[in-house]
Amino acid sequence: MKKTRSFLDSLYEFISQGPVYHGMFWLMLFGLMRWIDHGNDVDTGFALGNEVIQLVFYAFLVYLNLLYLIPNYLARHAFVYFGLILTACAIVTPIEVLVLYVKFTARSDYRASLVEHQVWIFWGNVLVTVFSTVLRVIMDWWRYQSEKKMLMTQTIQSELRFLKSQINPHFLFNTLNNLYALTLKKSDKAPEIVLKISEIMRYMLYECNERRVPLSKEIQYINNYLDLERLRQPCDADIRFTVEGQVSHQMIVPLLFVPFLENSFKHGLNHTVNGNGFVRSQLIVKDDSLTFFIENSKVAHIPAPENNLSGGIGLANVRQRLQILYPDDYSLIIQDDSDQYTVTMKLTMTH
């Protein structure tokens, strides 16, 4: 599926060049005319002259359509647009017939046939003009889809840059405060905490600039993040993360799990006051697919924060990011119960 998309994108980039698709259109039309005339018992030079004349009139109608009729009438006045096409063809056809009639001076049989079948010349002009409209609509749709995809990709990249540049200030300040308390007590944990903060910052600012990072790095980030949360959460909080399966060569987009981790604490465990709070997460790896499961406790009514400028990019943006980065290769199930919140994400990774 991805190889097909890549091929279509490359094909579009080539075909979307003006000289290319215009040249292809006229070559295909000329080839079709040659194929139709090939079965007729007509001198090749004589037939080529007729086809060139027809192509000249086709070109006039097509570029009148592309440069004037479509921009000014198609979207706003469809019926007027098609009426103008018929009118233009009705005006051009007699001129075309006249030119061919003069060319057939020495061929009285062709003159008679030309006059008899001029209505088919009219409908041929209409058909070619309308076909150019269809191609124009297809090309415009294709261009719109390409630009839309590019814009969405740029949006996702901006969101990722924002995500990498921000760490919840409360999380960082509380961790530093706890670290300060540990240093006052000369605790052996202080150097370990400093190392974990350093690893988190290094990963977010430098290592995850690539489009894909090793899954092992993401797992290390999760472990560091949760270790720091354990430091600032109540000692009876149930914070767990387990990994099942073999983690080796798998690659994944960076910081994919950050919003789920942040939300589990920001909207869940941070508001639990009865001592039964939990954040339990699990990662199941099978070859190049994974399942990420996380659940957290919650209270019935979460107080609204006074200032909510920081935090994750939000689940809506997570869905959008997954749709762009893992189209057709992911599922995201969210269950919001009265006492807990559960997220299950499945996706297929790439090397």
Return the HEC string of 290-347: EEEEEEEECCCCCCCCCCCCCCCCCHHHHHHHHHHHCCCCEEEEEEECCCEEEEEEEE
Same domain, 148 and 7: yes
Q: What is the CATH number of the domain that holds 259?
A: 3.30.565.10
Question: Does any domain span residue 54?
Answer: yes
Same domain, 30 and 137: yes
pTM of the model: 0.55
| Token code pair at residue 66 | 């592309």
Same domain, 207 and 252: yes
Question: 87-101, 254-268, 332-346: lowest mean pLDDT where?
Answer: 254-268
Counting residues of the chain whose pLDDT is more than 70, the rounded percentage is: 81
Question: Does any domain span residue 122?
Answer: yes
Give the single-character DSSP code of 105. Answer: T
> pLDDT digits over 281-303, tens only?
999 999 889 999 999 888 766 55
pLDDT at 196 over 80: yes
Same domain, 323 and 174: yes
Question: Does any domain span residue 158?
Answer: no
Distance CA 40, CA 48 (A): 13
pLDDT for 331:
92
Same domain, 171 and 147: no
Q: How many of the other CB atoms lie within 10 Å of CB of 48?
A: 15
Question: Does any domain span residue 157?
Answer: no
Question: Does any domain span residue 60?
Answer: yes
> pLDDT digits over 330-343, tens only?
999 999 888 888 99
Same domain, 204 and 325: yes
Structural domain boundaries, residue 117: 2-152
pLDDT for 282:
95
Same domain, 317 and 176: yes
Distance CA 156, CA 52 (A): 51
Domain boundary among 152, 175, 194: 152
